[in-house]
């Protein structure tokens, strides 16, 4: 193919900027402004990243309801193990325990609205049995249930320690308690991975639409008259969609930094985003070539991406964990090996996609 050609836009030019792959990439990126769903998704991510320091407080209340100060939770308790419940409650913040003499008294106090919840304890073959009474479908239900769960977990922990000598079998040592801010945990294990993984998935979905629409409308043949081979078209669409993802991720990280959320190893994180974007974009383009239909390709893309991301749990380190470790500058050798593995997989995926395009279009070989 010569260095000069008539671009799809009808312009005569030369050099790398007029390379057919660059022209196709420019054309696809320019058309994104017409995709209202994609634009809305980008604006939502932009809003979250730009106002993360404010939103993180509200989002953390969903991630860890007990982390949000919402007044004191009053819990009534009765039964044989009130002393054990009291010892565990002494370590809980914003929790007040009221002891009742019998089950009837605590139930009556709950019905009268004097308690947020009630716990009735009993002995069950040497074990502590606890019946919890909590409101249904109330605004406070989530917070109350979270407090009760934390209380009972504390009871379980102290009883396992107290009864360890009476057990016939040795138990697994309990991990020590760690005092950590839920805001820190939410930001680096949920918010940052969410902002970094959404751009690749969006790029893959757009790549599916970009190729299948060319096929369904018949404009793919017009592109090839340019002349542009099918491999060049696939390369151009892949380049345009892949580059968008790290650009978005870089902007999100910049906005997080302006909100006072420091993120380490930005280059490595952007490299991981690029690798994932390459993988999902290649998958989307391959499905578009194979099916030639937008609906079928999008359905297969969604199912396969969700399945693939779910199966990554079997890896020694999940991608979200790798992102969190890199962001807090605590990455291990294994984290960087996973990052390298994603890069190798992306390169192999590109090679396979180009080979498939070449076989689909013999003239491009």
**What's the CA gap between 128 and 80, in Å, rounded?**
9
Same domain for 300 and 151: no
Domain closes at, from 166, 197, 212 = 166
The answer to whether residue 55 is domain-embedded is yes
* 53 and 79 fall within a common domain: no
User: Which pLDDT does position 306 carry in this prediction?
Assistant: 87
| pLDDT at residue 71, as a whole number | 60
| Contact criterion met (CB below 8 Å) for 293 and 306 | no
The reply to whether 172 falls in a domain is no
For the chain, the average pLDDT equals 76
Cβ–Cβ under 8 Å, residues 99 and 86: yes
Judge whether 309 lies within some domain: yes
What does the pLDDT read at residue 126?
Answer: 75
Domain boundary among 138, 166, 194: 166
Q: Does 279 share its domain with 153?
A: no
10-residue mean pLDDT profile of the chain (365 residues): values are: 41 53 66 63 66 52 48 83 84 82 88 86 82 75 78 82 68 60 72 87 84 74 64 78 87 82 90 93 87 84 88 88 90 92 92 81 44
Domain assignment present for residue 29? The answer is: yes
- Statement to judge: residues 216 and 107 lie in one domain: no
In a domain, 161, yes or no: yes
How many whole angstroms from its chain centre is CA 141? 26
Q: Quick check: is 65 in a domain?
A: no
In this structure, the answer to whether residues 100 and 230 fall within a common structural domain is no
Residue 66 lies in a domain: no
Q: Are the C-beta atoms of residues 232 and 17 closer than 8 Å to each other?
A: no
Q: Where are the alpha helices (DSSP H) in 75-162?
A: 82-89, 103-111, 141-162
Residues 290 and 343 both lie in one domain = yes
Instruction: Give CA–CA dist 254/22, Å, rounded.
Output: 27
Query: Could you tell me if 264 and 310 lie in one domain?
Result: yes
The whole domain housing 317 covers 5-60+181-364
Instruction: For residue 85, give both structure tokens.
Output: 């419940």
Q: Are residues 50 and 133 in the same domain?
A: no
pLDDT value of position 271:
94
Q: What pLDDT shows up at residue 178?
A: 56
Query: Which of the listed residues 106, 132, 166 is the one where a domain comes to its end?
Result: 166
- Whether 49 and 117 map to the same domain: the answer is no
Number of domains the chain contains = 2
pLDDT value at residue 170 = 66
Cβ contacts of 10 within 8 Å, gap of 6 or more: none
- Output the pTM of the full model: 0.63
Say if residue 237 is in the same domain as residue 303.
Answer: yes
Same domain, 140 and 235: no
| Residue 45 to residue 56: CA distance in whole angstroms | 13
CATH number of the domain to which 145 belongs: 3.40.190.10
Please give the angle made by the CA atoms of 70, 72 and 74, to the nearest 5 degrees: 135
Residues 227 and 318 in one domain: yes
Q: Could you tell me if residue 175 is inside a domain?
A: no
């Amino acid at each position: 193919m010569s260095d000069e050609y008539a671009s799809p836009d009808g312009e005569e030019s030369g050099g790398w900027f007029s390379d057919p792959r660059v022209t196709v990439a420019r054309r696809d990126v320019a058309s994104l402004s017409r995709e209202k769903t994609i634009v809305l998704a980008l604006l939502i991510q932009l809003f979250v990243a730009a106002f993360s320091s404010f939103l993180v407080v509200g989002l953390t209340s969903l991630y860890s309801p007990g982390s949000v100060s919402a007044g004191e939770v009053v819990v009534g308790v009765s039964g044989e193990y009130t002393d054990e419940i009291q010892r565990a409650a002494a370590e809980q913040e914003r929790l007040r325990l009221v002891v009742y003499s019998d089950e009837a008294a605590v139930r009556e106090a709950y019905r009268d609205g004097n308690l947020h919840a009630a716990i009735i304890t009993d002995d069950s073959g040497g074990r502590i049995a606890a019946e919890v009474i909590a409101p249904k479908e109330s605004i406070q239900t989530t917070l109350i249930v979270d407090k009760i769960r934390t209380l009972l977990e504390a009871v379980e922990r102290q009883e396992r320690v107290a009864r360890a000598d009476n057990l016939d079998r040795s138990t697994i040592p309990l991990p020590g308690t760690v005092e950590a801010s839920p805001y820190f945990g939410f930001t680096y294990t949920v918010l940052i991975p969410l902002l970094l993984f959404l751009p690749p998935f969006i790029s893959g979905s757009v790549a599916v639409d970009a190729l299948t629409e060319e096929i369904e409308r018949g404009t793919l043949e017009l592109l090839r008259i340019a002349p542009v081979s099918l491999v060049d078209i696939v390369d151009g669409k892949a380049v345009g969609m892949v580059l968008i993802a790290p650009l978005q991720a870089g902007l999100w990280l910049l906005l997080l930094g302006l909100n006072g959320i420091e993120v380490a190893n930005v280059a490595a994180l952007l490299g991981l985003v690029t690798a994932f974007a390459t993988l999902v974009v290649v998958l989307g383009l391959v499905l578009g070539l194979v099916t030639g239909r937008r609906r079928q390709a999008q359905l297969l893309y969604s199912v396969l991406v969700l399945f693939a991301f779910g199966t990554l749990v079997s890896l020694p380190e999940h991608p979200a964990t790798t992102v969190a470790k890199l962001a807090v500058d605590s990455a291990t050798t294994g984290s960087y090996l996973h990052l390298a593995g994603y890069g190798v997989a992306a390169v192999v995926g590109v090679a396979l996609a180009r080979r498939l395009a070449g076989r689909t279009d013999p003239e491009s070989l």
